[in-house]
C-alpha cells in the first residue's frame, strides 16, 4: 500500500518538474513564488563567464567611471577620480529626457556597456536587465543594503537624483560623521575612492534616469538576467567612491520592483573561501531556537572578548549605563538585514572592496589591516588639519559602511575628535560618551580647557600628525578596552567589594570640599564606576503550562536541580492525634519518673534517717513528709481535689513502670489514699487488665493490694467487692484475669476472715456482702473452668465462705473450680 502511494507521489513530482522546465520564460516567476525569494535557477558556468567579463571591464575602467560618468561632462567623466556627486548637484536639474540617456553615463561608464545598449533596449525587457546590471555593478550598496533603511528620504522626493543627493547632505542620510566622508561638499576634492558604501556613492546610470523612468523600467520586469556573481558586484563597485545612488532609487529599494529585480537578477553568493576567515567574526551564527534565558548561551563563532571590528559605542553605552544580566551578544552589525539570504557584513564588503585595490603585492587578506592604516592615515590627515597632499591612497572602506550599519549617528566624539577638515583647529571636539559620568560643571571646564588648548595643540600635534601609524587602535577598540575595565569595576555592593577604596575616596572628597570651597570645585575628575543593581535570582524551574512535571532542559542559564527533594507532610489531623498520643504518653512517663524519684527517696528515708546525724534528722523528716505529700498530690488529678484521681492512676498504671511504682507506693500512702487507689484499681480492672496484656505485671500489685485490703474496714471491703463487680460482665473479665481472680479471692477471704474472726463484724449488716458473694458464686459456677484463670494463690478459707452461702452441691463444684 505504502509503496504504491510513494510511487504515485514520485510520479507526481516528476510531472511537476517537467512542467516547470517547460516554460523558460515563466520560470522565474514561479521560482520566486514557489521557492522563495531569490531562488534562481541558473548555471554557474555562465555566471563565471560573466564574472570574468565583468572583471576585465572593471579593471580597465577602474570603476570610477560610474560615478563620473553620470552627469554629463564627457571629458570629465573619463577621469575616474571625480566624484559624480560633484556633478550631480550642479548639472542635472530636471529629469533628462530618455534620449539623452545614451549620451550620458553609458558612454563613459566603466562597465563599457555601449550607449546603444540603453537606447536599443529602452522599451525592451533587456533594458531592465542592463539597468539592473549597472545598478548592481555600480553600487553594491543597493544589493548590500537593499532593504536597508534609508533614513530620512521620503519616497516622494523629486525623482531626480539631485535633490535626493542633496538630501544626502543631511546628516541623517549620512550618519557617518561628515568630516570623514564629505561626498557632497563640492568644494572639496573627495578622496580618491570614497567608501563605496556611501550613500553618496551612486549609480551613475540610475542617476541619469529619471525617477519615473526607473520605475517604469523596473516595473517592466526583467528577463532573467542570470545571477550576477557576487564577486563582480562587490569587487568592482566597492572602491568606486563617487558612484552615487539616486536616492529616489534608494528609497525605492524598499519597494518591491527593484527588490524583485535584484532578487531575480542575482544576489551575492557566499563570499569565496578566501574571505571566510576574516568574516568569521562578522558572520552571524545560525539562528538558534533556544532563548537566551532558558536555553544554552548562543554559540559564538568568535569567542567573547574579541575586539570589535564594528562600532559598538552604543553597546558600550548600554553596558556601562544599564548593565544587564543578559549575556553580551555579538556586536550589532546586522541590524539591517540584507535582502538576501546571506548576510554580508560591512566588513565583508569592505574586504571585498579592498581586495581589488590591494591587488598586486597584497593578498586580499591584508585588507583589514590596510583599512586600519588607511583609516589612521585619514584620521591623521584630518587631525592635522590639512589634506595630506592629496588624499591617502587607500581610503578606509570601513568608515563608509557606517551609514548603513550604524543606527543613530555616532556622536562625533567617537572619532579621535577630528574636526571637520575645513574647520578651525580650535573647534572644540564634542565630548565623548564615556564622560557622561562627569558633573556638568566639570564637563564645561573640560570643554573650555580643550578649547583653550586648541592653540597649543599644534606643536605637539605635528609630531603626531607626522606619525603615519598612529591611531591604529580605533576609538571603538579603546572604548572596548575601557569598557572591559569598567566592567571589572562593576559591583553590586561596592562597600563589600572595595571597602577601603570607598572609604578612601570619601575621605578625599571631604578633604577636597574643605580645601576647595571656592569656584574650583569640580576640578578633579571622578571615576564613577558602574553600579550593578543587585538582582535576587531565585531559582524557579522552568515550567510550561499544561506540561507534566518539570523540563529536563538544563543549561548554563538555568541549572536544574538534580534532585527535587519535596517535603511531604502528613495531614494535620493525623499529626495532631499522633502528637497528642505521644504527648500524653510522654507526660505519663514523666510523671512516673518524678514519682519514682520521690518514692525512692521516701523508701530510703529510713536508712538515711538512721544514718543521718541528729541535727539533720528533723530536716530529713520534713523532707520526708513533703515527699510523701508530693506523692499523694501527684496521684490527684487536680491540685485542689483531695481525691485520688482514677484517671491518673489508670494512666500511671498503663505504663509498666507505673504499675511497679504503684505497687511500691501503696505501702507508703496513707490508708485513705491507699484504699482509694485500690478502689480505683478494682474499678478499672478490666481496662487495666487489657493494658496489661503485654506486660503481665499486674500481679506485682497483689501483695500491696492485699495488704491494703487487710486493713480495710468491712464497709470499704464491701465497697471494694462491689467495685470489682461494678459493671455488667466485669466479674467475668475479672475472673479471666489472674490478678482479678486473685484479688477477688483475697477480698473474699478477707471478708471471711472478718466474719469468722469477729462475730460483731458489720459485714453482714446489710445484704450487700451476701449478695455480692452470691453473685460471685454464681459467676464462678457459670464460668467454665477453662476460662477461669488460676489465681496466684488460693486463700484457704474461701470454701468456708462459700459454704455459708451455697449448698453442698454447689460448694463441691466451687471446690472443683477453685482447685
- The Cα angle at residue 196 between residues 195 and 201, in degrees rounded to 5: 105
Interaction between residue 477 and other proteins (CB under 8 A):
yes
C-alpha cell at 784: 467454665
C-alpha cell at 223: 528577463
Interaction between residue 316 and other proteins (CB under 8 A):
no
Which burial class, exposed, middle or buried, applies to 796 when counting CB atoms under 10 A from its CB (0-12, 13-18, 19+)? exposed
Interaction between residue 613 and other proteins (CB under 8 A):
no
Interaction between residue 514 and other proteins (CB under 8 A):
no
User: 432 or 683, CB closer to other proteins?
Assistant: 432
3-state SS, 672-705, equals HHHHHHHHHHHHCHHHHHHHHHHHCCHHHHHHHH
Draw the binding track, 357-376, toward other proteins (x: CB under 8 A; -: no contact): --------------------
State the virtual CA torsion across 787, 733, 729, 773 in degrees, nearest 10.
Answer: 80
Please tell me the count of residues contacting other proteins according to CB under 8 A: 42
Q: How far out from the chain centre does Cα 522 lie?
A: 42
Interaction between residue 434 and other proteins (CB under 8 A):
yes
3-state SS, 299-339, equals CCCCCCCCCCCCCCHHHHHHHHHCCCCCCCCCCCCCCCCCC
Interaction between residue 307 and other proteins (CB under 8 A):
yes
Asked if residue 690 lies in contact with residue 723, where contact means CB atoms within 8 angstroms, the answer is no
C-alpha cell at 39: 531562488
Q: How far out from the chain centre does Cα 181 lie?
A: 44
Taking CB under 8 A as the binding criterion, the range among 46-54, 75-83, 466-474, 549-557 that sits at the site for other proteins is 466-474
Figure out which of the listed residues 523, 643, 690, 778 binds other proteins, where binding follows CB under 8 A.
523
Asked if residue 161 lies in contact with residue 206, where contact means CB atoms within 8 angstroms, the answer is yes
Interaction between residue 526 and other proteins (CB under 8 A):
yes
Figure out which of the listed residues 478, 656, 810, 817 binds other proteins, where binding follows CB under 8 A.
478
Taking CB under 8 A as the binding criterion, the range among 291-299, 342-350, 444-452, 593-601 that sits at the site for other proteins is 444-452
Interaction between residue 512 and other proteins (CB under 8 A):
yes
Residue 538 dihedral angles phi and psi, to the nearest 5°? -100, 140
Interaction between residue 432 and other proteins (CB under 8 A):
yes
Figure out which of the listed residues 187, 463, 537, 540 binds other proteins, where binding follows CB under 8 A.
463
Angstrom distance (rounded) from CA 401 to CA 396: 10
Instruction: From 783, 804, 803, 770, select the one nearest 740 (Cα to Cα).
Output: 783
Interaction between residue 276 and other proteins (CB under 8 A):
no
Figure out which of the listed residues 147, 450, 612, 687 binds other proteins, where binding follows CB under 8 A.
450
Interaction between residue 461 and other proteins (CB under 8 A):
yes
Figure out which of the listed residues 471, 591, 648, 673 binds other proteins, where binding follows CB under 8 A.
471
Interaction between residue 527 and other proteins (CB under 8 A):
yes
Asked if residue 418 lies in contact with residue 382, where contact means CB atoms within 8 angstroms, the answer is yes
Residue found under cell 505529700:
629
Return the SS3 of 431.
coil
Minimum CB–partner distance for residue 206 and other proteins (Å): 41
Taking CB under 8 A as the binding criterion, the range among 159-167, 276-284, 459-467, 565-573 that sits at the site for other proteins is 459-467
Q: How far out from the chain centre does Cα 273 lie?
A: 38
Interaction between residue 619 and other proteins (CB under 8 A):
no
User: 305 or 361, CB closer to other proteins?
Assistant: 305
Minimum CB–partner distance for residue 524 and other proteins (Å): 4
User: 526 or 579, CB closer to other proteins?
Assistant: 526
Interaction between residue 305 and other proteins (CB under 8 A):
yes
Taking CB under 8 A as the binding criterion, the range among 27-35, 117-125, 219-227, 447-455 that sits at the site for other proteins is 447-455
Figure out which of the listed residues 29, 78, 482, 645 binds other proteins, where binding follows CB under 8 A.
482
Instruction: Give the Å distances, CA to CA, from 555 to 294, 324, 329, 564.
Output: 7, 19, 17, 17
Taking CB under 8 A as the binding criterion, the range among 99-107, 333-341, 522-530, 673-681 that sits at the site for other proteins is 522-530
Minimum CB–partner distance for residue 465 and other proteins (Å): 11
Minimum CB–partner distance for residue 279 and other proteins (Å): 22
Interaction between residue 435 and other proteins (CB under 8 A):
yes
Minimum CB–partner distance for residue 333 and other proteins (Å): 21
Name which of residues 180 to 239 contact other proteins (CB under 8 A): none
Instruction: From 522, 383, 387, 386, select the one nearest 454 (Cα to Cα).
Output: 383
User: 274 or 460, CB closer to other proteins?
Assistant: 460
User: 52 or 369, CB closer to other proteins?
Assistant: 369
Figure out which of the listed residues 301, 446, 783, 818 binds other proteins, where binding follows CB under 8 A.
446
Taking CB under 8 A as the binding criterion, the range among 68-76, 321-329, 445-453, 490-498 that sits at the site for other proteins is 445-453
C-alpha cell at 741: 481472680
DSSP letters, 367-402, are: HHHHHHHHHHHHHHHHHHTS--SS--SS--STGGGH
Interaction between residue 417 and other proteins (CB under 8 A):
yes
Interaction between residue 636 and other proteins (CB under 8 A):
no
Figure out which of the listed residues 464, 521, 560, 664 binds other proteins, where binding follows CB under 8 A.
464
Interaction between residue 436 and other proteins (CB under 8 A):
no
Q: How far out from the chain centre does Cα 648 lie?
A: 62
Angle in degrees, 0-180, between the axes of helices 738-757 and 714-724, rounded to the nearest 10: 150
Interaction between residue 449 and other proteins (CB under 8 A):
yes
Helix or strand holding residue 67 (H, E): helix 65-69
Task: Mention every residue, 6+ apart, whose C-beta is less than 8 A from residue 603.
Answer: 664, 668
Return the SS3 of 644.
strand
Specify the DSSP class assigned to residue 457.
H
Task: Mention every residue, 6+ apart, whose C-beta is less than 8 A from residue 268.
Answer: 143, 144, 229, 230, 233, 234, 340, 342, 344
Interaction between residue 565 and other proteins (CB under 8 A):
no
Interaction between residue 524 and other proteins (CB under 8 A):
yes
Rg of the chain, C-alpha, whole Å? 55
Residues lying near other proteins in the complex (CB under 8 A): 305, 307, 416-417, 428-429, 431-432, 434-435, 438, 446, 449-450, 453-454, 457, 460-461, 463-464, 467, 469-473, 477-479, 481-482, 484-486, 508, 512, 523-527
Amino acid at each position: 500500500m505504502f509503496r504504491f502511494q510513494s510511487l504515485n507521489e514520485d510520479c507526481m513530482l516528476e510531472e511537476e518538474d517537467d512542467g516547470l522546465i517547460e516554460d523558460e520564460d515563466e520560470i522565474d516567476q514561479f521560482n520566486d513564488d514557489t521557492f522563495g525569494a531569490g531562488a534562481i535557477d541558473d548555471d554557474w558556468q555562465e555566471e563565471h563567464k560573466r564574472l570574468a567579463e565583468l572583471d576585465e571591464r572593471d579593471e580597465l575602467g577602474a570603476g570610477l567611471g560610474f560615478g563620473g560618468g553620470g552627469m554629463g561632462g564627457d571629458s570629465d567623466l573619463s577621469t575616474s577620480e571625480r566624484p559624480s556627486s560633484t556633478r550631480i548637484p550642479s548639472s542635472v536639474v530636471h529629469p533628462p529626457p530618455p534620449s539623452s540617456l545614451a549620451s550620458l553615463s553609458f558612454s563613459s561608464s566603466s562597465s563599457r556597456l555601449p550607449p546603444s545598449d540603453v537606447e536599443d533596449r529602452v522599451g525592451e525587457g533587456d533594458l531592465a536587465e542592463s539597468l539592473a546590471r549597472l545598478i548592481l555593478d555600480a553600487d553594491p550598496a543597493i544589493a548590500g543594503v537593499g532593504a536597508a533603511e534609508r533614513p530620512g528620504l521620503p519616497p516622494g522626493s523629486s525623482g531626480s537624483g539631485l535633490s535626493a543627493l542633496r538630501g544626502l547632505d543631511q546628516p541623517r542620510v549620512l550618519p557617518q560623521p561628515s568630516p570623514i566622508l564629505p561626498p557632497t561638499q563640492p568644494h572639496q576634492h573627495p578622496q580618491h575612492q570614497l567608501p563605496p558604501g556611501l550613500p553618496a556613492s551612486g549609480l551613475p546610470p540610475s542617476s541619469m534616469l529619471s525617477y519615473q523612468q526607473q520605475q517604469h523600467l523596473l516595473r517592466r520586469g526583467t528577463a532573467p538576467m542570470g545571477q550576477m556573481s557576487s564577486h563582480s558586484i562587490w569587487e568592482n563597485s566597492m572602491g568606486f567612491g563617487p558612484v552615487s545612488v539616486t536616492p529616489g532609487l534608494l528609497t525605492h529599494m524598499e519597494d518591491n520592483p527593484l527588490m524583485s529585480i535584484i532578487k531575480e537578477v542575482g544576489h551575492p553568493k557566499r563570499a569565496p573561501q578566501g574571505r571566510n576567515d576574516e568574516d568569521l567574526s562578522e558572520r552571524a551564527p545560525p539562528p538558534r531556537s533556544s532563548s537566551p534565558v532558558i536555553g544554552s548561551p548562543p554559540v559564538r563563532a568568535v569567542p567573547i572578548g574579541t575586539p570589535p571590528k564594528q562600532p559598538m559605542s552604543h553597546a558600550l553605552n548600554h553596558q556601562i549605563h544599564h548593565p544587564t544580566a543578559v549575556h553580551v551578544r555579538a556586536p550589532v552589525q546586522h541590524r539591517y538585514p540584507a535582502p538576501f539570504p546571506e548576510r554580508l557584513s560591512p566588513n565583508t564588503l569592505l574586504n571585498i572592496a579592498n581586495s581589488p585595490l590591494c591587488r598586486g603585492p597584497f593578498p586580499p587578506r591584508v585588507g583589514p589591516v590596510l583599512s586600519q592604516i588607511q583609516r589612521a592615515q585619514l584620521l591623521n590627515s584630518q587631525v592635522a588639519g590639512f589634506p595630506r597632499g592629496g588624499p591617502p591612497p587607500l581610503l578606509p572602506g570601513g568608515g563608509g559602511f557606517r551609514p548603513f550599519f550604524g543606527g543613530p549617528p555616532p556622536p562625533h566624539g567617537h572619532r579621535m575628535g577630528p574636526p571637520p577638515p575645513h574647520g578651525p583647529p580650535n573647534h572644540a571636539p564634542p565630548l565623548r560618551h564615556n564622560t557622561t559620568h562627569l558633573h556638568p560643571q566639570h564637563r564645561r571646564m573640560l570643554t573650555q580647557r580643550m578649547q583653550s588648548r586648541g592653540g597649543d595643540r599644534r606643536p605637539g600635534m605635528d609630531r603626531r600628525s607626522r606619525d603615519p601609524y598612529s591611531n591604529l587602535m580605533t576609538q571603538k577598540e579603546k572604548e572596548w578596552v575601557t569598557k572591559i575595565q569598567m566592567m571589572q569595576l562593576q559591583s553590586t555592593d561596592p562597600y563589600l567589594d572595595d571597602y577601603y577604596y570607598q572609604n578612601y575616596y570619601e575621605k578625599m572628597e571631604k578633604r577636597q570640599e574643605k580645601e576647595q570651597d571656592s569656584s574650583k570645585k569640580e576640578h578633579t575628575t571622578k571615576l564613577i564606576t558602574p553600579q550593578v543593581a543587585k538582582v535576587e535570582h531565585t531559582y524557579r524551574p522552568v515550567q510550561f503550562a499544561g506540561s507534566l512535571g518539570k523540563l529536563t532542559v538544563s543549561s548554563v542559564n538555568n541549572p536544574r536541580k538534580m534532585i527535587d527533594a519535596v517535603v511531604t507532610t502528613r495531614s494535620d489531623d493525623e499529626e495532631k492525634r499522633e502528637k497528642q498520643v505521644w504527648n500524653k504518653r510522654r507526660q505519663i512517663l514523666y510523671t512516673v519518673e518524678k514519682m519514682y524519684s520521690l518514692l525512692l527517696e521516701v523508701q530510703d528515708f529510713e536508712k538515711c534517717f538512721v544514718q543521718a546525724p541528729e541535727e539533720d534528722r528533723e530536716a530529713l523528716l520534713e523532707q520526708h513528709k513533703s515527699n510523701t505529700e508530693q506523692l499523694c498530690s501527684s496521684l490527684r488529678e487536680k491540685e485542689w481535689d483531695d481525691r485520688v484521681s482514677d484517671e491518673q492512676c489508670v494512666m500511671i498504671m498503663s505504663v509498666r513502670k507505673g504499675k511497679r511504682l504503684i505497687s511500691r507506693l501503696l505501702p507508703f500512702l496513707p490508708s485513705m489514699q491507699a484504699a482509694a487507689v485500690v478502689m480505683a484499681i478494682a474499678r478499672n480492672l478490666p481496662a487495666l487488665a487489657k493494658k496489661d496484656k503485654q506486660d503481665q505485671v499486674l500481679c506485682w500489685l497483689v501483695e500491696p493490694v492485699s495488704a491494703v485490703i487487710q486493713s480495710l474496714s468491712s464497709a470499704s471491703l464491701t465497697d471494694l467487692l462491689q467495685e470489682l463487680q461494678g459493671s455488667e460482665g466485669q466479674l467475668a473479665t475479672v475472673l479471666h484475669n489472674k490478678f482479678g481472680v486473685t484479688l477477688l479471692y483475697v477480698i473474699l477471704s478477707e471478708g471471711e476472715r472478718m466474719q469468722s474472726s469477729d462475730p460483731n463484724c458489720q459485714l453482714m449488716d446489710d445484704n450487700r456482702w451476701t449478695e455480692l458473694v452470691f453473685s460471685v458464686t454464681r459467676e464462678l459456677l457459670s464460668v467454665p473452668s477453662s476460662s477461669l484463670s488460676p489465681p496466684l494463690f488460693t486463700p484457704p478459707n474461701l470454701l468456708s465462705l462459700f459454704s455459708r452461702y451455697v449448698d453442698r452441691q454447689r460448694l463441691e463444684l466451687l471446690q472443683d473450680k477453685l482447685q
